[in-house]
Amino acid sequence: MSKELTLAALLSSWLDISTDKSANIVVKHLELDSRKVTSGTTFVAIKGHAVDGRRFIASAIEKGANAVIAEACEQHAAGKVELIGDVPVVYVAQLSEYLSALASRLYPLETHQVIGVTGTNGKTTITQLIAQWLELVGKKAAVMGTTGNGFLDNLQPAANTTGNAIEIQQTLHQLEQQSAQFTALEVSSHGLVQGRVKALDFAVGVFSNLSRDHLDYHGTMEEYAEAKFSLFSEHNCHNAVINIDDQVGASWVERLDNAIAVSLKTITIERAVWAKSVAYSESGITLSIDGMFGVGDCVVPLIGEFNASNVLLAMTTLLALGIDKQLLLDTASSLKPVLGRMELFTAENKAKVVVDYAHTPDALEKALNALRVHCQGQLWAIFGCGGDRDKGKRPMMAEIGERLADQVILTDDNPRSESPAEIVKDMLVGMKQPDSAVVEHSRFDALQYAIANSHADDIILLAGKGHEDYQVMANETIHYSDRESAIQLLEQKA
């Protein structure tokens, strides 16, 4: 249940409507989407990035909104209260900037500790490792992000990596009501730029890495980096856990007083955690750690160098929160791979299939490098590029596939409104020998081809969709899952 506030109390930091007859209207629930308004809801109408919510004020009132808080503009001055029927519409200046603070008043957090994780890759894995580990040491922990919101055994689907400011606060408040002591929250660059987590108090902020992504939104890598950095510079973030094996992260540590540097290499920084040694095997990763929290050893059943980094970042975060180091080391072997993140599927006498969410050049490169150390035979790469998104990464990804895999199959990955053939054409430009690539637009058929033409000691990386169970086409979204394809095709008799 949310806290109930009068409209005047809710808005008191931004304007005084205490003498208006709408002052005592009770606000129980805020809603940004007019389609979700029901009787007694208070509708919040902002000028969004794609849609102006003020166009839907009349619709929200028809659906039973008890009041409307709207963004002020030239026609509607800040502080003005209009009546539509008997429903007040209160205009607030720069409302979109205050959504997070507004929501935190109605949906407050008392004892709940929030951990924010940002970076191009690894956010889902790190948040889920943190939540898993907390559960293993007897704490109640939830996650919010790409694969859903809630407790790990009951995730509810999420539309975006980072929801809107009101949804985030509502969800955290609900999780606290369900006894969550911690929530690990994926924080996207969009979410940071748009102020969706502005009023949150982060016990720890974590940075994984930075590589090319979302340039269609941010324009330049510098702007993208600064968007990520704002988690630490412009938000209330008590501890900053930073991967300094990433060049951007290494430069940030010098800019932050509260940073804890994390590295897979031995370092001499005072506030740091590092790996004295890392060993990779078929059964997982063996880590020997050192640094400001002392030494220790653990084995984790995950694959690849970047997962060693993810584990070290998750462990450092929990140590910064005061969790006992020996408890973490003792329970590390019980951690599980994350759904659709370097997830291994096997069948007797067939190639291993690894399903991973890698859909950026950096992520694809890391996934292929990680699998190479485990691969006795040929390494296959099946991947595509999204339509209506950054076209610059298409040739880059094809170049990486050709350089690091023995066999490349180019396929579709959410072509959206673009021609799948044109997307593949853009990718082939990056290859020295484009004729060596197999083009198969159906992901299912691409995997079927790879399994039929591979050997038992080969590994097939099926990259791009991970946990997703859909494919976005020009006019429809169809059901499709790489995980289901892997299970079905590996079970088929040869």
DSSP string, 395-457: HHHHHHHHHH-SEEEE--S--TTS-HHHHHHHHHTT-SSGGGSEE-S-HHHHHHHHHHH--TT
For strands 296-300 and 284-291, give the pairing.
Answer: antiparallel
User: Residue 161 — pLDDT band, cuts 50, 70, 90?
Assistant: low
Element containing residue 205 per DSSP (H, E):
strand 201-207
Residue positions forming the annotated binding site for meso-2,6-diaminopimelate: 389, 413-416, 464, 468
- Backbone phi, then psi, for 463, in 5-degree steps? -110, 150
Confidence of residue 191 (pLDDT cuts 50, 70, 90): confident
Q: What is the DSSP letter of 374?
A: T
Please check the confidence at residue 379 and state whether its pLDDT lies above 50.
yes
Q: Judge contact between 480 and 443, C-beta under 8 A.
A: yes
List binding-site positions: 32, 34, 119-125, 160-162, 188, 194, 196, 389, 413-416, 464, 468
Share of the chain above pLDDT 90, in %: 83
Q: Is the pLDDT of residue 112 over 60?
A: yes
For 181, which DSSP code? S
CATH fold for domain 343-491: Protein-Tyrosine Phosphatase; Chain A (3.90.190)
pLDDT in tens, 447-472: 999 999 999 999 999 999 999 999 99
Q: How confident is the model at residue 214 (pLDDT cuts 50, 70, 90)?
A: very low
Phi, psi dihedrals of residue 462, rounded to the nearest 5°? -105, 100
134 pLDDT more than 90: yes
Query: C-alpha angle with apex 401: 395 to 405, nearest 5 degrees?
Result: 165
Terminal Cα-to-Cα distance of the chain (whole angstroms)? 55
Express each pLDDT in 70-83 by its tens digit.
999 989 999 999 99
Bind-site residues for ATP: 119-125
Q: CATH assignment of 5-104?
A: 3.40.1390.10
**What was the pLDDT predicted at 351?**
96
Q: Top-level CATH class of 109-334?
A: alpha beta
The predicted-structure confidence for 345-372, as pLDDT tens digits, reads as follows: 999 999 999 999 999 898 899 999 999 9
Q: Is the pLDDT of residue 221 over 80?
A: no
Q: What is the average pLDDT across 205-216?
A: 75
As a whole number, mean pLDDT of residues 132-152 equals: 96
Answer whether 465's CB lies under 8 Å from 387's CB.
no
Q: Using a pLDDT cut of 70, give the percent of the chain over it.
A: 97
Backbone angles phi, psi at 118, to 5 degrees: -130, 165
The pLDDT of residue 180 is above 50: yes
Q: Chain-wide mean pLDDT for the chain?
A: 93
pLDDT above 60 for 15: yes
pTM of structure: 0.83
DSSP H stretches of helix in 68-220: 95-106, 123-136, 165-177, 189-193, 215-218
- Look at residue 213 in the predicted model and tell me its pLDDT: 53
Q: How far apart are CA 1 and CA 258, in angstroms?
A: 35
Indicate if the pLDDT at residue 420 is higher than 70: yes
The residue-averaged pLDDT of 281-293 equals 91
- Give pLDDT tens digits for 228-281: 899 999 999 999 999 999 999 999 999 999 999 999 999 999 999 999 999 987
pLDDT tier, 189 (very low <50, low <70, confident <90, very high otherwise): confident
- Could you give the CA distance from residue 363 to residue 358 in angstroms, rounded to a whole number? 5
| Residue 494 pLDDT grade (very low, low, confident, very high; cuts 50, 70, 90) | low
**Does the pLDDT value for residue 486 go beyond 50?**
yes
> What is the mean predicted confidence (pLDDT) over 314-338?
97
Residue 1 has pLDDT above 60, yes or no: no
pLDDT of residue 218: 45
Question: Is the pLDDT at 90 greater than 90, yes or no?
Answer: yes
**Residue ranges per structural domain of the chain:** 5-104, 109-334, 343-491
